[in-house]
Structure 1
């Protein structure tokens, strides 16, 4: 990798980070504890491509819309989606919709990563953010 590219990446790394409301904040309910990522630095919205680079992939942009950008990462460890939002309200709308389906997501400042739970833990170490369990709608399966 050219030296200028490495310097550019290092200069931009502080722009990726974690965000969480306080414990009394209703928006923080259902979240796990926030972990500051060593590589994350300052809290700020990031681009799909930057998050993808920090997680070890080159994202294939699937959605380019006014409300969000979504990139698909395909790696040996599995596929995952990175979604970024230009405003907090779009992220909140996305999370509300995703909560109908349930699942775990890594949530940061105007970005969300959807991946297998083991991958989310690895990504949190690099990106920061909060792993959130969203509840699905409908009956839950009973244990046998």
Structure 2
């Protein structure tokens, strides 16, 4: 019996191989944010160098631009100082500042600054969805700690 394969499993020999990063799980505040958060990000795992390239690509589409990231050192204790991404190097600065818990800040050359609640990767889908919706709701004006404790 011959096994059948889909084109994704068995590309033609002359096809160019390329890896596509999974799209990040994001919920962004519509329009211009006027609150403490611009939305939320729910990473699939806690390895920042695996998750950050797709997040940066989604929020800063210009590959030639610079992206700097500030992360909560407690949430990302092993965060590298640089992360390689297609077409760019992302600089990472861990912080232990009050008010930065469960937050990631991306400073992008062309689109400005994004401040996002980081939903823990192990969070169940229904709870993650609720947290992401709350962080992206422009009417709530809550910071990350307030959203996580609600």
| TM-score of the superposed pair, with normalisation by structure 1 | 0.31
The structure with more helix, counted as a fraction of residues = 1
| TM-score of the superposed pair, with normalisation by structure 2 | 0.31
Structure of greater Rg: 2
